[in-house]
Amino acid sequence: MAVKFKHVNFTYSPKSPFEHDALFDINLEIDKNSFTAVIGHTGSGKSTLIQHINALLLPTNGVVNVNETLITPIRFRKYRRYLEKTIKNKKKTNEQKEIARNLLDEINNFNPYKKKKLRSEVGIVFQFPEYQLFEETVLKDVSFGPRNFGKTKEEAINLAKEALNRVGIDETYYERSPFELSGGEKRRVAIAGILAMKPSILILDEPTAGLDPLSSLKMMELFFEIYRQGITIILVTHDMNHVLNYSTHVIVMRDGKVERKTTPRELFADLKGEDVISLPPLYKFMHDLVDRGCPLKIDKINNEKDLARAIKGLKGNA
């Protein structure tokens, strides 16, 4: 297990006129070395969820366990005392006491997180990451992350070069200003900036937003390659093609709650009405064929060619 959420609730700006509940009793586990997709409508809580994983946001209640260290709403020891008090409090319901016991269990088995260490292990690539570039040269910008986590200048530069190589940016770019690059190149440099940190958990928030189909494909292939070399990837996306082709697990969020955790195949086997909009065109097509009575096994079909063969097979047997 790489990440575990236990009874996590989150409220933006509590006790202010802008108070807004974003996450409700989140309980979920993200497996180590998995490629987990997180999907859901805009406003379902996906962004809020991932910001808990590197402690950008602290839960309003509950704990987040990342790489065997715990993120708690308030200081570790204070929270432990709070939970102990809750269990003894006669005014609390049995349900509340059970939750407190559950959380206390985690507290007693794990240590509190250390911010700098956590941030170096969990890399987040936010949407349109090219907007975070700021240094004078490409090399300097990519080595910014490693430098912040204590690497020496030389170590950081080596890590930067390695990361840039992975995203397909060669030496001719090293001394150039990031602002002279094209949109696609900037994005790759920004991603290299996160890869250079060598995180064990890589979180990607719509990494292919705004890219043309081919660049989008190349980028996903890159992430898949990194995944295969050993890393936990969490992908927040609206693109169902990505979910289908690369993920091992899917978490579906709805209105701040986890609706379910499943596999891509199972997800596409049974879909609800409004979600149909985000279905890749091929799958929508196949669903419609199935509705017309065609006995297609959708989860066995990956592309148009498979579909053609399947139909040929069906017709051949008719």
Cα–Cα dist 250/101, whole Å? 29
Should residue 75 be labelled a site residue for another protein when binding is judged by CB under 8 A? no
Task: Tell me whether residue 56 or residue 74 sits nearer to another protein (CB atom).
Answer: 56
Should residue 134 be labelled a site residue for another protein when binding is judged by CB under 8 A? yes
Local structure of 14: helix, strand or coil: coil
CB of 63 to another protein, least distance (A): 20
What tokens were used for 78? 């204070």
Among positions 51, 67, 208, 247, the unique one binding another protein when judged by CB under 8 A: 51
Task: Tell me whether residue 41 or residue 80 sits nearer to another protein (CB atom).
Answer: 41
Nearest one of 121, 119, 122, 196 to 159, comparing CA atoms: 196
- The torsion of the CA quartet 232, 235, 236, 237, rounded to 10 degrees, works out to -170
Among positions 18, 94, 273, 300, the unique one binding another protein when judged by CB under 8 A: 18
Please list the helix, strand and coil fractions of the chain in percent, rounded to the nearest 5, in that order. Answer: 50, 20, 30
Among positions 33, 96, 111, 148, the unique one binding another protein when judged by CB under 8 A: 148
Among positions 75, 81, 116, 153, the unique one binding another protein when judged by CB under 8 A: 116
Cα–Cα dist 282/180, whole Å? 38
Nearest one of 91, 72, 88 to 80, comparing CA atoms: 72
Task: Tell me whether residue 87 or residue 289 sits nearer to another protein (CB atom).
Answer: 289
Q: Given the rule CB under 8 A, which of 90-98, 161-169, 182-190, 247-255 is the region that contacts another protein?
A: 182-190
Residues 189-228 that bind another protein (CB under 8 A): 193-194, 197, 209-215
Should residue 312 be labelled a site residue for another protein when binding is judged by CB under 8 A? yes
DSSP label at residue 113 = P
What tokens were used for 299? 């989860």
For residues 195 and 226, the answer to whether their CB atoms sit within 8 Å is yes
Task: Tell me whether residue 230 or residue 281 sits nearer to another protein (CB atom).
Answer: 281
| Interacting residues of 248 by C-beta distance below 8 A, sequence separation 6+ | 31, 34, 35, 36, 263, 264
User: Quick one: which H or E segment has residue 278?
Assistant: none
Among positions 32, 41, 166, 176, the unique one binding another protein when judged by CB under 8 A: 41
Residue ranges binding another protein (CB under 8 A): 13, 16-18, 41-42, 51, 54, 56, 116, 119-120, 122-124, 126, 129, 131-134, 144-145, 147-149, 179, 182-184, 193-194, 197, 209-215, 238, 277-278, 281-282, 285, 288-289, 292-294, 303-305, 307-309, 311-312
